[in-house]
Amino acid sequence: QVQLVESGGGLVQPGGSLGLSCAASGPIFSINAMYWYRQAPGKQRELVAGITSDGSANYADSVKGRFTITRDNAKNTVYLQMNSLKPDDTAVYYCNADVKVLWGQRYSYWGQGTQVTVSS
């Protein structure tokens, strides 16, 4: 019943910026950690960034200093601001959330993914 909807993907030239959003809806009591993953064709899905409920963030080495993950708990939304984009950042980006539902259980949910293409 919980759904994560992503937006913001697109085509960007190298060095450009793009912001992604992922909003969760449904019978949510609280969201613990939220994450952004990415996967390019022929490669394994990679954890890009994560953020805890209190705002502590972590990043893959490949994006440190360029990407920023934030969240708005009131909107059940996680954001990924991507700056200084490189062709190697091209991938489908997925959001993930560890959700405590109203009846007390915890589940992990995935968004559908949004394509980010960095090309000149």
Give pLDDT tens digits for 102-111: 999 999 999 9
As a whole number of angstroms, the distance between CA 61 and CA 1 comes to: 34
Q: If we measure between CA atoms, which residue out of 108, 106, 89, 107 comes closest to residue 20?
A: 89
pLDDT tens column, 26-79: 999 999 999 999 999 999 999 999 999 999 999 999 999 999 999 999 999 999
Strand, helix or coil at 119? coil
As a whole number of angstroms, the distance between CA 30 and CA 100 comes to: 5
| 69 in Cβ contact with 49 (< 8 Å) | yes
